[in-house]
Structure 1
């Protein structure tokens, strides 16, 4: 009965929203105009993603079926004239039965800023900004929007330093972004996080690198990192008004981009020699990628495809759980939007695959995702299902089935 009620609510929401395929201008939400022509405004956007996840490869005392709020977010941005903008973005992630707080005061139940930056226009096609920002380097997926994924979620390792140098894929720093014809660019100089996911860990003699250069070495250069991303837009031009890259346009644009990006962090990690003496190692990550999204005909069908190669050098034999490691990664996905009217519910099956080499164990990790999206009102209201199969080195395969309901207002 509860499942039927939830689905009914989603359909009611979908029926009362304006249809949107997947724009980059973020024209959804509520716009408050401060003048007659709307050039002075405040825009408010809210979205939520709700998960039900089944995994039978769990300990005896753990549940195989779990529910969570994957994301709960509110984003606002304001322009009082065309020369400057301020953006705020706050919310929470992955709230579930294991991290809920009895009184709502625990860490996981607290809202925090994902973004907070100001931006100033320097010329026709160039702007600069400062604050807690998402103008990232490396790849398209490291700049991905969470509003319009094609796959259930982002390829996790594409957020290559999440929790290592940043706060949930955002750095405090300064950036510049702009266009040179069909070439778009974004470059940023940022502070590195002082207390990260390896806080308190010390390298062992002749052992693997630890990502704690700023704390263990106490060097000034370990406190800053530089990153950038450039992509050439061969067909329709994508917007770079905001940093968030669209996952799928559902046939509303014809886009073909090739990109390349990097992140470099001097003395970002630390190793110890046989005597325990510490030495810094530079962290260098770079990637090349290609994105294609286009209608296939007059029947409403469309294709979305993405391919990326990423080189990860976090230092000697670096690993952190099964998430980060020195090595390389190849990732790709492709989805097909089944023909149908643009103002009706749409169905999009997809497949994704990732292969990572792991220097520390001289082995690979692999993840296969098979899924589908049911777009009730474009990206504003959709249901997604995905089965993933993950294998890390010689560990057993782990299969997970996830159902997601999303609303974006």
Structure 2
């Protein structure tokens, strides 16, 4: 067949004289036709049974997990292949539903007498980011709000109401460098505070509903939500853990002058702009706690055996002031005249000692019980007769110090607190849901709280409740009852009930 091609080509040329281009086209077509015929002869048709069709592999459904994966402390985003550089993100919320019998004389936002009420509030709402560039560099950022209700916790001056549009502000913004295994130094807006363990508490792992308030005597007066702006050093040597800080005092929120002070009653000095020195030291007798971030765990639910003894301090020179004599009459009408009135400056100092014990009790699989206790003692030197009042998510309207649920929180004098809880056996409600009943007691003895006979009227606050742990601290409901003293009449203290349900979720 191949030898016939030239002859066939010559035959076509003789019969049909054409130009060279046309001859090339005809020759190519002839070649393809012959090649196709030859291919049909060389490759015989397939005989026999047709091949089986290709198997169809459908994706198999994975079996449903028998239990949820353990929580690993937030969402971790690795920014290096080995995971040494990462960003960890956590978000958490605490919602309160509460019945409160208000203190004497409490009014609503519409100036109506309000002896009691049921209200809702956001105790805390936070976003936390922890980042490491390498094992030596740490960055911690926390944003959030505290204490928003329909009458408080919002942006000041809002025409639509002070409870709306709370400021989502910085709680923590620190950068840290690890010098060696014994020392890390850092700075920024930080929570490495002095005084006590609970001064730098992890708000979402507490034993009781909330902290007592005695742990933060200068909160939002010369700091920002318990945070200082400055430098710190921290570390651990053997079983000894320490933190030291020097911060600039925030300009305080006191608008008083010597002319407006009560005689011989101290207040934060609005003209003091010194350094605040703080420190806390503790000895870890049993398990060593993780200390990557500044937040001290409230309780471990039996995961660790911890026994720590600690002590701490805070010092702020000339941080308080008082007018020892009666104000002149008539009072000065100018600011210069008001500050010309003689007054005395007082150093602000606080000392503390505390104990933290957290341990599993029965480690059997069907029990896994645990016991926790935290106790602290404080000595405050804050100038003559100083007393500070406060009420968490205060439902009372107005500016009265003793409205709503306010109690004396700190003052020149002493205070002691104790919180204890017991994690009940897991067999009670199944493997996941756990119960942790707890009790809390606060005692304060402040020299500014005196009856007519001159004796000090002590402060006693009792809390009791139960944590319903749906998924550890990550999802829990807390029911709390508080017996709270009403100090509107220091000669006759009445105790008011306060019942709170808290829903807490951490992701």
TM-score when scaled to structure 2? 0.72
Contact 2:151 2:161 in 1 (8 A): no
Task: State the alpha-carbon separation in 2 of the partners of residues 294 and 225 from structure 1.
Answer: 35
Determine if contact 2:125/2:145 at 8 Å carries over to the other structure: yes
Which digits, 9 at most, give the CA deviation of each residue in 1:24-71, with x for residues without a partner?
xxx411111011221000110100000001013354544610001111
- Return closer, same or farther for 1:374/1:367 CA change in 2, 3 Å cut-off: same
Matched, 1:318 2:386: yes
Return the structure number with greater relative CO, CA threshold 8 A, min gap 6. 1
- Whether contact under 8 Å (2:311, 2:353) holds in the other structure is yes
The aligned counterpart of 2:349 is: 284
1:120-135 → structure 2 map (5 Å cutoff)? 120-135=177-192
Contact 1:205 1:273 in 2 (8 A): no
Q: Which of 251, 257, 260 does residue 311 from structure 2 map onto?
A: 260
Among 48, 61, 84, the residue aligned to 2:93:
48
Q: CA deviation at 1:395?
A: 3.4
Paired with 2:170 and 2:80, the residues of 1 have a C-alpha distance of 29
Match of 2:79 in 1: 34
Partner of 1:389: 483
2:4 aligned residue: none
| 1:138 aligned residue | 195
How big is each residue's C-alpha offset from its partner over 1:248-290, in whole Å with a ceiling of 9 and x where there is no partner? 1000000000000000111000122327412210111011000
Residue 80 of structure 1: CA displacement? Answer: 1.0
SS of 2:458's equivalent in the other structure is: strand
Q: Name the SS of the counterpart of 2:426 in structure 1.
A: coil
What is the alpha-carbon distance in structure 1 between the residues aligned to residue 165 and residue 222 of structure 2? 20
1:88 equivalenced with 2:141 (yes/no): yes
Tell me which protein shows more strand as a share of its residues.
Answer: 1
Deviation at 1:324, TM superposition (A): 2.7
Cα 1:267–1:302 shift into 2, 3 Å: same
Question: How far apart, CA to CA, are the structure 2 residues paired with 1:340 and 1:107?
Answer: 42
The answer on 1:374 being equivalent to 2:468 is yes
C-alpha separation in 2, matches of 1:40 and 1:105: 42
The number of equivalent residue pairs is 382
Q: Cα distance, 1:164 vs. partner?
A: 1.7
Cα shift at 1:154: 1.0
Partner of 2:282: 231
Contact 1:95 1:108 in 2 (8 A): no
Residues 19 and 377, structure 1, Cα contact 8 Å, conserved in 2 = no
Post-superposition CA distance 1:194-223 (Å, at most 9, x none): 132x333546474211112xx33x5xxx42
Give the number of the structure whose alpha-carbon radius of gyration is greater.
2
CA distance in 1, matches of 2:299, 2:141: 24
Identify which of 287, 294, 303 aligns with 1:243.
294
Give yes or no for contact 2:304–2:360 (8 Å, CA) kept in 1.
yes
- Contact between 2:96 and 2:120, CA under 8 Å: does it hold in 1? yes
Q: Distance in 2 between matches of 1:205 and 1:155?
A: 27
The residue number in structure 2 matching 1:308 is 376
- In structure 2, distance between residues paired with 1:319 and 1:253: 38
Listed as ranges, the gaps of 5+ residues in structure 1 are: 1-14, 21-26
Equivalent runs, 1:155-234 vs 2, <5 Å: 155-196=212-253, 198-202=254-258, 204=261, 206-212=263-269, 215-216=270-271, 222-234=273-285
Unpaired runs of 5+ residues, structure 2, are 1-65, 327-340, 390-407, 450-455
Distance 2:255 2:307 in 1: 41
Q: Is the 8 A contact 2:150 2:163 kept in 1?
A: no
Q: Give the C-alpha shift of residue 108 in structure 1.
A: 5.8
Aligned to 1:408: 506
Distance 1:231-1:363 versus aligned 2 partners, 3 A rule: same
CA distance in 1, matches of 2:436, 2:245: 35
- Contact 2:445–2:458 (CA under 8 A) maintained in structure 1: yes
Does residue 329 in structure 1 map to residue 380 in structure 2? no
Query: What's the CA shift for 1:96?
Result: 1.2
Partner of 2:453: none
Change (3 A) 1:331 1:105: closer
CA RMSD of aligned residues (A): 2.2
Q: CA deviation at 1:105?
A: 9.5
Tell me which residue corresponds to 1:4: none
1-structure distance, mates of 2:466, 2:166: 30
The equivalent residue for 1:7 is none
Question: How many angstroms does 1:16 deviate by?
Answer: 8.7
Tell me the equivalent position of 2:130.
Answer: 77
Matches within 5 A, 1:92-103: 92-99=145-152
> How does the TM-score come out when normalised to structure 1?
0.88
Farther-moved stretch of structure 1 (95-104 vs 347-356):
95-104
| Matched-pair contact (CA < 8 Å) for 1:142–1:160 | no
The yes-or-no answer on 1:340 pairing with 2:426 is: yes
For 1:104-115, list aligned pairs within 5 A.
109-115=166-172
